[in-house]
Structure 1
Amino acid sequence: MANQQQTSPGKTKPFSFFEWMVARRYLGATRTGKGVSLITRIAFGGIMLAVAALISVMSIMQGFRLTLLDQLLGVNGHAHVQAEQPISDYDSMAKALGITPGVREATPLIELPVFVSATGETGMVVRGVRREDLLKNNYVTGKEHVVDGSFENFGVGDKGGKEIALGSRIASQLGVRAGDPVTLISGQGPETAFGRTLRRKTYIVGAIFHVGNAEYDAIYGFMPLEQAQLFFGFADTVQQIEVMVDEPEKIKSYRDALMAVGPGLRVTDWQQRFQSYFNALQIERFAMRLVLFLIIIVATLNIVTGLIMLVKDKTGDIAVLRTMGATQGSVLRIFLISGTMIGTLGTLAGIFLGSMFVLNIDPIENGLSALFQTDLFPAEVYYLDGVPAKLEISEVILITGFSLFMSFLSTLYPAWRAARLDPVEALRYE
């Protein structure tokens, strides 16, 4: 007798073992079948796939943004300081910029387009830099980025020597390797009565580098600063000074300090140069998050359908529980537990599936490319060698919270409907 009182529905505490047990049994089978009901599987699968898709897409977009930003700033620098005329005292100005609070490096630079020919022909942008400054740039001179030759003799010799470095795609278009000669052609020749003449000079390819960004590998080449001054007619001046700072995201806060180094200086930062590009990425990321959140909302609506069908299927059982003493609150909690169990388990499965996809995205991409015999991520289109992905805990927490909230919200109406069921009316037709 005491045991009956202990397990009586009317005597149970909120969210007791009895309510959890009934909720689990209701999800487990239909009136006539065994195992998990079809509608429960559909709701579970919908939430799992929606959460996994959202985690995967947002991780890829964030990885794409961070990788591209890292490469852009690794090769280009964070800000460029220029004057009205070419800078003659560039060594002292670079030192003054270098000791500015927050500035990591200041590099004298000449950057101009040229036409280059060998076996093939193409255009590129030549960056004239000092040997010691270029060797600090791991994106160009790092061991994993040098695919042919070396930078051992870059900037060594009379007036910086004759060696230059080319991006891997430029070298491929020209059909050259390290040690081969290439001819640079520039329109920055001497001024004559008929206009500027072309300037031609032959150099030796000392190194071929591979940044991993298709655009940079197909555009940029490097030559010693002294040779750039000779070739472009800058004498003992430079075009600009490239600045690297400790916090690139806060580059705007450095502008005043950089311009205060000398009179008539102007600063162009990376956010100005690539503003439209990164704004487009940010808008695309926001739009994609919104669309995928809507997918989660649609997926959680399967819980509403499932619970409404479950309430109809269990009408007699609900009536019996009520006649045994179960309160409306107890019935409400039973169906709340049922719905949130689907949402919680689906969300956890989606987190696992999405995380595994992101962490193993390169093998998956390689396998699919081999299966379909096509490159699913061409570098010419996306500018990167592989699919970048960055799994962020904050993003996962946001997605998890939203999915659980929508799952809980979706259970309210069916649970309220079950709790409002009149046991007399329900048993009349049983």
Structure 2
Amino acid sequence: MVLLAEGGTSMNDASAQKPFGLFERMLALRYLRATRKGAGVSFITVVAFLGIMLSVATLIVVMSVMQGFRVTLLDQLLGVNGHVYVQPSDGLLPDDEDYISRLTAAPGVTRAVPVLKVEAYAVNGQLGQAPVFIQGVSREDLFTLEEVTGPRSLRSGSFEGYGETEEDGIIIASGVAAKLRAGAGDYVTLVTGRQRQTPFGTLPTTEKTYRVDAVFQVGNSEYDGILAYMPLEQAQLFSGKKGQVTEVEVRVEEPLQIDSYLAGIEEAAGNSVFVIDWRSRFSSFFNALEVERFAVRIILFMIIAMATLLILMGLVMLVKDKKADIAILRTIGAPGGSVLRIFLMTGAMIGVSGAVSGVVLGSLIASNIPAIETFLSGALGIDLFAADIYYLAQIPVRIDPEEIAGVLLFTLAVTLICSLIPAWRASRLDPVEALRYE
């Protein structure tokens, strides 16, 4: 007995009898189509496809944004701050060139930057006032901070006069400038808690007027709202700590592999100092970010797993609907393995098409998130991504091919597992029992 299918394919055809051959692929594809009797099965198939597609797309978008947050924040943190901090155990460090040279000579170190940090309060007459965290660094060291002096960071003024003009000047972040209502060329007064001797007695604070040489923007609201830079000698005079620094910021070749440099830096730093790496200083922040990223990933993977359960449900109903067809196939000689592969391919087609469509949709959305956010903010009249809440000036996105590959593999694996159960039951179906009531 010969079974003829569309296009004249028969069970006697050698190519049709091969595992995953033309005959099996043809039947798997036909079982995805709607029939009058199996309209409900087709509807579940469509829902399963849409569920997997939207779940995969959502996972890709969310993970791309979270990866963008992580990479952007890490770049800003390591761009503005050092990678290893050498701090005195008591008091301040001397501004010693020999000591700085010794640290620079440590293996893997690219630069050692002496920094004097001063907390102050800035006042621009009656226009505005703001707390500032002054970083006293030399002109040469300032220009190594790409996040501060890079071409994309300058908002007004110029960095060229930093530390070279006779007039005392500072550069301030955009958030500080906004609070002070000051721009390049304006004058602001800085007030610090250092006691000052005068002919009228001791004053509890010291204040001095500086010209704003430039306004920069890092793109992080936390840094932009408080940072200011001043030449190191000026900062020492202003704070009354001449010849001293708060710490030495050491920069290395590969900050993500900081453990390989710590021993050499500690040896060069000597005793009576603390050597702290960037992971320890900012550990709570990035640990929270990693935990949140892991938790969201688990939740979204569970959503994908739930969507693939619709494939299981659809195939169970399909097997029940196609009992007679399966019985006929087994009667004319189709082996159980062939039946198993037919239904396995039916489920796999739904999973593969849904996963691939989800990857395409998710990548398109992730690539255009800044434009989408701008459009929605304008249409709704609200700021959907406020910099003072989310730290960054715009939504960061970093599409990671490895993440996408992992999502695809997970989706396909769960799809095959969910498809295997009803496919195995179909392959074990007894033809006599299936045809008894037909």
- Report if TM-score (shorter chain) is over 0.5: yes
Contact 1:9 1:18 in 2 (8 A): no
Give the AA of the match of 2:298.
Answer: L
Cα distance, 1:259 vs structure 2: 2.3
By how many angstroms is 1:171 displaced? 0.6
* Contact 1:98/1:104 (<8 A) preserved: yes
Aligned to 2:262: 255
| Structure 2 Cα separation of the partners of residues 242 and 372 of structure 1 | 45
Equivalent-residue separation in structure 1 for 2:2 and 2:309 (angstroms): 42
CA deviation after TM superposition for structure 1 residue 370, in Å: 2.0
2:10 is aligned, of 7, 11, 15, to 7
How far the C-alpha of 1:301 sits from its partner, in A, is: 0.2
Aligned residues of 2:116 and 2:244 also touching (Cα < 8 A): no
Matching of residues 14-413 of structure 1 within 5 Å: 14-32=19-37, 37-83=42-88, 84-118=90-124, 119-158=127-166, 161-190=167-196, 197-261=204-268, 262-413=270-421
Tell which deviates more after alignment, 149-158 or 38-47: 149-158
**How far did 1:34 drift?**
8.7
Distance in 1 (alpha carbons) for counterparts of 2:47 and 2:278: 48
CA distance, structure 1, for counterparts of residue 189 and residue 339 of structure 2:
84
Write the distance in 1 (CA, Å) between the matches of 2:119 and 2:99.
25
* Rounded Cα–Cα distance in structure 2 between residues aligned with 1:303 and 1:242: 56
Q: Which runs of 5+ in 2 are unaligned?
A: none
> Contact between 2:85 and 2:275, CA under 8 Å: does it hold in 1?
yes
Q: Distance in 2 between matches of 1:325 and 1:260?
A: 79
- Whichever residue aligns with residue 182 of structure 2, its letter is V
Q: Secondary structure at the match of 1:157?
A: coil
Task: Provide the C-alpha distance between the structure 1 equivalents of 2:314 and 2:399, rounded to a whole number of angstroms.
Answer: 32
How much does 1:227 deviate? 0.5
- Which range is displaced more, 255-264 or 127-136? 255-264
Cα pair 1:90 1:238 within 8 Å, conserved:
no
Query: Which sections of structure 1, spanning at least 5 residues, go unmatched?
Result: none
Q: State the Cα deviation string for residues 308-353 of structure 1 (Å, max 9, x = none).
A: 1111221222222222221221111110110111111111111111
Classify the secondary structure of the residue corresponding to 1:412. helix
CA distance in structure 2 between the aligned counterparts of 1:418 and 1:234, rounded to whole angstroms: 83
Which range is displaced more, 268-277 or 256-265?
Answer: 256-265
**1:10-40 Cα shifts (integer Å, max 9, x gaps):** 9712211101100100012224589992111
Tell me how far apart the structure 2 counterparts of residues 409 and 264 of structure 1 sit (CA, whole Å). Answer: 61
- AA of the residue aligned to 1:18: F
| Counterpart AA for 2:66 | M
Q: How does 1:416-427 map to 2 (within 5 A)?
A: 416-427=424-435
**1:390 aligns to what SS in structure 2?**
coil
Distance 1:146 1:104, change over 3 A: same
Q: Letter of the aligned partner of 2:367 in structure 1?
A: L
Could you tell which deviates more after superposition, 33-42 or 123-132?
33-42
* SS of residue in 2 equivalent to 1:243: strand
- Kindly provide the amino acid, as one letter, of the partner of residue 194 in structure 2: Q
| CA distance in structure 2 between the partners assigned to 1:113 and 1:88 by the alignment | 19
Judged with a 3 Å threshold, the aligned counterparts in structure 2 of structure 1 residues 313 and 18 are, in CA distance, closer, same or farther, namely same
* SS of corresponding position for 2:31: helix
The CA distance in 1 between the partners of 2:203 and 2:430, in whole Å, is 95
1:200-220 alpha-carbon deviations (Å, 9 max, x no partner):
101011100011001100010
Aligned length: 427
SS at match of 1:325: coil
Q: After superposition, what is the alpha-carbon deviation per residue over 1:72-121, rounded to whole angstroms, capped at 9, x for unaligned? A: 11011112212234222422222221121111111111012101111211
Q: Structure 1 residues 426, 183: closer, same or farther in 2, change over 3 A? A: same
Percent identical among aligned pairs is: 49
What is the root-mean-square deviation of aligned Cα atoms in Å?
2.3
1:259-314: CA deviations, max 9, x gaps? 22233222122111110110001111111111111111101000011101111221
Divergent runs of 4+, >6 A: 1-6, 33-36
Q: Is the 8 A contact 1:107 1:241 kept in 2?
A: yes
